[in-house]
Amino acid sequence: MVVFCAGCGIFSNPKGGFDYCYATSKGVYVGRYGKTPTRVYINGTDPCLSPDGEKIAYTDAGAPDRQRRIAVFDLEAGKVNFLDTGCHNCYGPMWSPDGDYLVYNAWTGKDWGIKYIDKDNQHAVLLAEPTDSLMGYTSPTWSADSKKIVVQNMNAVYIYGLDGKILQSVPFEQMDTAVSFSSASSFVLSKKEDKLIYWAEMEGEAGDDEPPAAVFVHDLGSGKSVRISPKGYDCWQPVLKGDTVFCNGKKGKAAGKGNIYRMDLDGGHFALAYKNRMDVSFAQR
């Protein structure tokens, strides 16, 4: 499932880990600042670099006995470990900032729920599961202190403690009324835990085959949302590094390859960060 070129010196000096990971149409790459990125041959999607920069978690679709599963590729050892996630269809792993856990979307048999598992692959915990007529939970992200997980269920955003208790909920009605959400819409809690950074589709703007997406910041104190990605850009899947927001995106109706853009939490200093790259994740060192 994973091809590792052990004899060609690709990872000849892996000590200290890598700084970032991203995807292109050709595959997944890891890099250190100031050096040429290196391709990693994994058979999967949704790559996420561990906080120490030494492993990549990803969604593997090659198992004969299940639809999708969570895998972790050790960049130093060149080996893959398939996690015992307790489900036959799970995807989208996200490392906790302290590197102790992975959270992921898990099919519970009736709908989508959220699970997390410790880094030693010992115990998968069911965090959120839909009940009654509620829709499934998706798109988990972590708080900066690794003690909370943010999810959504197409009705509201929920901030969970690791014990499964809901600490706070924000109904979608409080967000910008000109947007529409999908199950892929993700919400990222700021370091101070006073804001949610999220993306949604702009119903009133013309795109290619569907409305373009935009990145917003929702102030949990005031209950107000502000768009921070500029008009004329299609931007989605925000990632926080410090107080800088990175996101997938493209300009106008440009077809083909996407880019990674960056901006401040107030939308300032919007700029191209990485050309022809997508799905960036960073080490936390």
203-246 pLDDT per residue, tens = 766 655 678 999 999 999 999 999 999 999 999 999 999 999 99
Residue with tokens 């988990």: 140
CA proximity to 181, closest of 206, 151, 160: 151
* pLDDT in the model for residue 43: 87
* pLDDT in the model for residue 206: 61
pLDDT value at 171 more than 80 = yes
* pLDDT in the model for residue 85: 85
Cα separation of 200 and 152, whole Å?
13
Higher per-residue pLDDT: 273 or 4: 273
Q: Which of 49-53, 81-85, 196-200 has the lowest mean pLDDT?
A: 81-85
Kindly report, residue by residue over 129-156, the tens digit of the pLDDT.
988 667 899 999 999 999 999 999 999 9
| Cβ-contact 172, 156 below 8 angstroms | yes
Cα separation of 185 and 130, whole Å?
18
When the pLDDT of each residue in the chain is averaged and rounded to a whole number, the result is 90
pLDDT value at 201 more than 70 = yes
Kindly report, residue by residue over 51-71, the tens digit of the pLDDT.
999 999 999 987 787 889 999
pTM, full prediction: 0.91
pLDDT value at 11 more than 80 = no
One-letter amino acid for residue 284 of the chain = Q
| Cβ-contact 91, 59 below 8 angstroms | yes
3-state secondary structure 106-153: EECCCCEEEEEEECCCCCEEEEECCCCCCCCCEEEEECCCCCEEEEEC
Cα separation of 161 and 182, whole Å?
24
* pLDDT in the model for residue 205: 67
Cα separation of 156 and 128, whole Å?
13
Q: What angle do CA 222, 281, 80 make, to 5 degrees?
A: 135
Kindly report, residue by residue over 261-276, the tens digit of the pLDDT.
999 999 999 999 999 9
Query: The sheet that has 271-274: what strands, in order across it?
Result: 233-241, 244-251, 259-264, 271-274
Instruction: State whether the Cα torsion 189-128-57-257 is positive or negative.
Output: negative
